Chain A
C-alpha cells in the first residue's frame, strides 16, 4: 500500500531532551515536507526537500532540523524542544510537479 509512515503517533517529552520524528514513504517521491498544525494557525510548513541531500526552510523552521540522506526518509529533529513546539506534526510527499501530496497520519507532540 502506498503510504507515508510517521513515528511515533504520540510523544510526550520534557524541555531540552532531543527527539526525532521519523517519516518514510514507499512511493519513490522526490518531494517531502514537514508541517505543523496549530489551532487558529492552520498548517504551516517547517522544512521541505526536493530530492536527496536538498533541503530548504519553510515558514517556521526555527528550532527544527531535517536531513534527506535517502529518498524514502525525511526525519524531523528537535535538538532542544520547548513547550511552544507542542503541536500536531505531519509529513507529506509527492512526485515532482506538485500533483497532490500524500500525508502521514500525524505525530502529536507535547513538550512539558
Chain B
C-alpha cells in the first residue's frame, strides 16, 4: 500500500494569511485527489489532478501536481475562518481504491 505523507500535521493561522500544505510519496501517483473534511462530516472532494505539472485553481485554492507526480501542494490565499478543516490528499491507482494521507488540520482564526 502506497504511503502518503502530509505536512504540516497542524496549522493555525490568522485570517488573511496565506498557507501551503503538502502531500508526498516515494512512489509515482496515478492521480491525486484533495478533500476537505469538516467536523462530524465526511470528506468532500475539492479537486483531482492527473497530469504531472498540472495546476488547478478553485477560487482562493491553488492545487499543484509535481512534475514527477510524486508530490502535490495546496495553497490557500487570504485564508478565511470558513477554510478551517482537515485537508486530506488521497491517491487512486486506476482500479485500486483510495489511499489517504493522515491530513493537515487547519485552523483559521478571525
A interface residue numbers (CB < 8 A to B): 4, 31, 33, 35, 40-45, 48, 50, 58-59, 90, 92, 96-106
Q: How many residues of B contact A (CB 8 A)?
A: 24
| With contact pairs A41-B102, A42-B103, A99-B48 given, residues A90 and B42 touching in the complex (Cβ less than 8 Å) | yes
Is the CB–CB distance between B102 and A92 below 8 Å?
no
Q: Say which one of B18-26, B58-66, B68-76, B90-98 lies at the interface with A.
A: B90-98
B interface residue numbers (CB < 8 A to A): 1, 30-31, 33, 40-45, 48, 88, 90, 92-95, 97-103
Is the CB–CB distance between B33 and A100 below 8 Å?
yes
| With contact pairs A41-B102, A45-B97 given, residues A59 and B1 touching in the complex (Cβ less than 8 Å) | yes
A103 to chain B, nearest CB (A): 3
Number of A-B pairs, beta carbon distance below 8 Å: 58
Is the CB–CB distance between B42 and A104 below 8 Å?
yes
Is the CB–CB distance between A96 and B95 below 8 Å?
yes
What B residues does A43 contact at CB under 8 A? Answer: 43, 88, 100
| With contact pairs A42-B103, A50-B95 given, residues A101 and B45 touching in the complex (Cβ less than 8 Å) | yes
Is the CB–CB distance between A106 and B42 below 8 Å?
yes
Q: Which partner residue on chain A sits nearest B45 by CB separation?
A: A100
Q: How far is A70 from B61 in the complex, measured between Cα atoms in Å? A: 38
